[in-house]
Structure 1
């Protein structure tokens, strides 16, 4: 998905996190740390795999901890896509 905008990536991440936490996407604050939202290490690792599949990027399994909010992670992924 090389043409993904930061907003599109944020929307996708928000939907994935909401799915894992079994909450509506509207309840996911993009600036709240994922761990505070309730995302545990298992889902964080799963999210890294989902990111790899969705965006065809190779990311570290710790990507959700290194970029701990939806907004930060979306910015990072957008930068990675732009440079690839």
Structure 2
């Protein structure tokens, strides 16, 4: 985890994911429902792989290319990442 993420909370992980998904899908962050299926929001396999790469870069984690499909909502994915990072 990079120095900027050292004090990050689970809520901040979730907020980061909302921002990144909004950016990738060219939507406003406030229009993203964190409990909606990522596929329903428009996240396709190309964007899912890109998101996985951004997660690895931002948090210093190694994630499977299927991380967005294995954790199909932002809320679920944020919980998974928070657990991996050991944050609450």
Indicate the TM-score class for this superposition, using the shorter chain for normalisation.
Answer: over 0.9
> 1:64 maps to which residue?
68
1:12-63: CA deviation from partner (whole Å, max 9, x where unpaired): 0000000011010000000000000000000000000000000000010100
Gaps of 5+ in 2: none
Gaps of 5+ in 1: none
Assess, with a 3 A threshold, how the Cα gap between structure 1 residues 55 and 9 changes in structure 2: closer, same or farther: same
For the 8 Å contact 1:2–1:82, the answer to whether it is kept is no
